[in-house]
Amino acid sequence: MSPSRSRQARRADARRKQKRGAPARPAGRDFSGVREAIAKLGWRIWGALAVVIVAAIVAIVLLLSSSSTPSEHLQLTGSGYPNVDLSNTRHVAGPIDSATVSKLGVAWSTPLKAKSQYGSYSSSPIISNGVIFSQDLASNVQAVSLKTGRVLWSKSYEQPDQGPNGLVVAGGRVYGATPSAAFALDEKTGEQLWSVTLVRNEHEGIDMAPGYHDGIVYVATVPGNVAKYYGGEGQGVMWALDASTGKRLWHFDTAPEDLWSANNKSINSGGGLWYTPSFDEQGSMYIGTANPAPFPGTNEFPWGSSRPGPDLYTDSIVKLDAKTGKLEWYYQLTPHDIYDWDLQDPPILVNAGGHHEVIAAGKGGVVIALDSATGKLLWKRPVGIHNGHDNDNLYALRGEYSKLSLPETVYPGQLGGVIAPMSSNGSMVFVPVVNHSATMESQGEIQENGPTTGEVVALDAATGAVRWDHKLPGPAFGATTSVNDLVFATTFEGSVYGYEASSGALVWQKQLPAGTNTGVAVSGGTLIAPAGVGLAAGQTPTLVAYRLGAGG
């Protein structure tokens, strides 16, 4: 795959290394001949022409302003969450369903112009009150008309990010982050209202869409950035910021300040968030955390021995008091991770089987459901290809190195498992899966292997039982989206699929003009599909709007 294929591929590239402007303005019309002709005329003719020209200019201005779809009446006063709601379900109602989906056609498209080695786009657009709020991989933000694709305002940062990044909209403001700072923009104008730098050294970065709840914005650092990942001294810290001012209220260390060993802090790193937290009605929040490093280890400290113990709170679901940051419980899926198996996906909150559940997954390729009150495991379901290495972390934790060997090929690899957010309609969970392996050549060398395929797996939310499993020809690097009785999924090569939620039957399919590593967003009768990765010569990253009844 190309260097711009996905965040996971970029992190793998960085791990192997450890081994260790704006578009051109259209040409203006040439009016020199007109000016010469006017110069040859008398002043009376010139005066008359001037009146005509002024009147014409006024008419053109009025025409252009009236062509900005006045019937839209866009107020820019909405709100929106990256995964649709505070429970991160990515479930949407509206007129798009199995009976109408065949009527979706292209309503408009607009190019995605961000330039980076990682592509143009990987976030999940926010749609509210007829406006799309969008952040690209140069950290730039736009407000776009859902009806026409017209750009309403732009805020330029031109700071490359590896993604997934993205925005949250609440209280008249748009909250987001660059690779180093959280920011707030005025929802109506895009004017920056505040910016707060959160990274503390060159080893940290930010690549998530913020969370928002009850006047607080939540943003976490991660142990890396576009320059380098897992270089040591990178600590994942989640910050709670006052939404009005950006003032720091509290923080939670997803990895400790000493990175599990004061002597090895220059080697170790880990933790942080990729995605937005979920929030319940009792004032608690739930976060999914990333992995520890180095992995598998180093020649001096094999199998992660530079960071002894379980390496809390990596690869965990953590429940906190959203106002204070007080720890309520945690569940660690992969203690002492040695294979980069983050539990990074946004936790989903559902009521199923008589329980208030927290459903989570990550790159280890395992979906879990926890009791939201206690953190007790309710069910656990591996998805995708596994080849017998799910307990290797426990052998390393206990120092049982005789049960581990190198070189070794491992499923899921660094690009595998459940990389993108899941969705749920309440009774089922729709899981995007990537089947890809990694070969651990030595403690400091990892090779990614092909081919890469994908799946969409539907699980019973109450039991974890597999309801259906649809194989994909390419990796599912994008989130699933549940819409009425449908679920939509994407593949990296740029295909969009619509399935019947109950059976998995394919009912709709389209090919985007470029590759994609994000899911679709839906509002009313419109489906927005970002194609943010140019995979082949001639492909242009594009934001595509499909609409019921459109002819394209």
Q: Sign of dihedral through CA atoms 63, 69, 72, 77?
A: negative
Q: Which of 525, 482, 520 is nearest to 130 (CA)?
A: 525
**Residue matched to tokens 């990987």:** 122
d(CA 74, CA 97): 26
Provide CB contacts within 8 A for 53, sequence distance 6+: none
- pLDDT reported for residue 430: 98
CA distances for 86 relative to 216, 274, 458, angstroms: 13, 16, 22
Q: How many CA atoms lie within 13 A of 323 on its CB side?
A: 4
Q: What is the enclosing helix (H) or strand (E) of 57?
A: helix 43-66
How buried is residue 95: exposed, middle or buried, by Cβ count under 10 Å (0-12/13-18/19+)?
middle
3-class DSSP assignment, residue 35: helix
Residue ranges of domains in the chain: 7-16+100-548
DSSP lists the bridge partners of residue 126 as 133
8-45 b/e (C-beta count within 10 Å ≥ 16 → b): bbbbbbbbeebeeeeeeeeeeeeeeeeeeeeeeeeeee
CA distances for 88 relative to 129, 263, 383, angstroms: 20, 39, 20
- pLDDT reported for residue 119: 85
Q: What share of the chain is helix, strand, coil (3-state, %, to 5)?
A: 10, 35, 50
d(CA 552, CA 550): 6
- pLDDT reported for residue 73: 65
**Residue matched to tokens 């939310």:** 461
Q: Which of 287, 197, 286, 190 is nearest to 241 (CA)?
A: 197
In this prediction, the residues of the chain whose per-residue pLDDT falls under 70 are 1-73, 75
DSSP lists the bridge partners of residue 508 as 498
- pLDDT reported for residue 92: 97
d(CA 401, CA 408): 13
Q: How many CB atoms lie within 10 A of CB 226?
A: 18
User: In the structure encoding, which two tokens stand for residue 537, read together?
Assistant: 């010569």
User: In the structure encoding, which two tokens stand for residue 331, read together?
Assistant: 């569940």
Phi, psi of 192 (to 5 degrees): -75, 130
Q: What is the enclosing helix (H) or strand (E) of 9?
A: helix 7-18
Is the distance from CB of 139 to CB of 158 less than 8 angstroms? yes
Q: Which of 412, 404, 485, 421 is nearest to 456 (CA)?
A: 421
d(CA 78, CA 118): 30
With helix as H, strand as E and coil as C, how does 398-430 read? Answer: CCCHHHCCCCEEECCCCCCECCCCCEECCCEEE
d(CA 6, CA 206): 16
3-class DSSP assignment, residue 33: helix
Q: Which of 184, 190, 318, 178 is nearest to 241 (CA)?
A: 184
d(CA 367, CA 93): 25
Architecture of domain 7-16+100-548: 8 Propeller (2.140)
- pLDDT reported for residue 483: 98
DSSP lists the bridge partners of residue 112 as none
With helix as H, strand as E and coil as C, how does 200-216 read? Answer: CCCCCECCECCEEECCE
DSSP lists the bridge partners of residue 331 as 317
d(CA 546, CA 369): 34
- pLDDT reported for residue 6: 47
Q: Which of 441, 462, 457, 544 is nearest to 504 (CA)?
A: 457
d(CA 61, CA 137): 34
d(CA 232, CA 264): 9
**Is the pTM value of this prediction over 0.85?**
yes
Residue type, 458: A
- pLDDT reported for residue 217: 98
Return the CA Rg of the chain: 25
- pLDDT reported for residue 49: 33
Is the distance from CB of 184 to CB of 172 less than 8 angstroms? no
